[in-house]
Amino acid sequence: MSDVTPDGAKLDELTSKELHERAMDLARERRDARFLWKLLRAIPAAAAATGEVDRAEFDIFHGLSLLEEFTHAGEGEVGDALRPLYIEYIAAHANGT
């Protein structure tokens, strides 16, 4: 896998928000619901990794707030914790695979 996108951008040099946006654009383009589900499942663990352990427990109310967090998953510490997920996805699929 390459850590460079087709436009020549090095993934490690992009901000977490840029990685999130590229991964989301790619998932939309590929109609990849599997990646979106993987991201939703990764958000609580990413939040726990930043010290917000109470956010790692799932209940119905957490599920509703998780949808809100989904739209901001490229921001702050959670966005930083999700960087490996974005880089892996972009590197694997940016070349049309």
Per-residue pLDDT of the chain (97 residues; tens, 9 = 90+): 445 565 656 898 999 999 999 999 999 999 999 999 899 888 888 888 888 766 556 554 566 666 667 777 888 888 899 999 999 999 999 876 6
Q: What is the spatial distance between Cα 9 and Cα 7, in angstroms, rounded to a whole number?
A: 6
Q: Does the model's pTM come out above 0.85?
A: no
What distances in angstroms separate CA 58 from CA 40, 43, 51, 61, one per listed residue? 12, 11, 16, 8
Q: What is the spatial distance between Cα 44 and Cα 33, in angstroms, rounded to a whole number?
A: 18
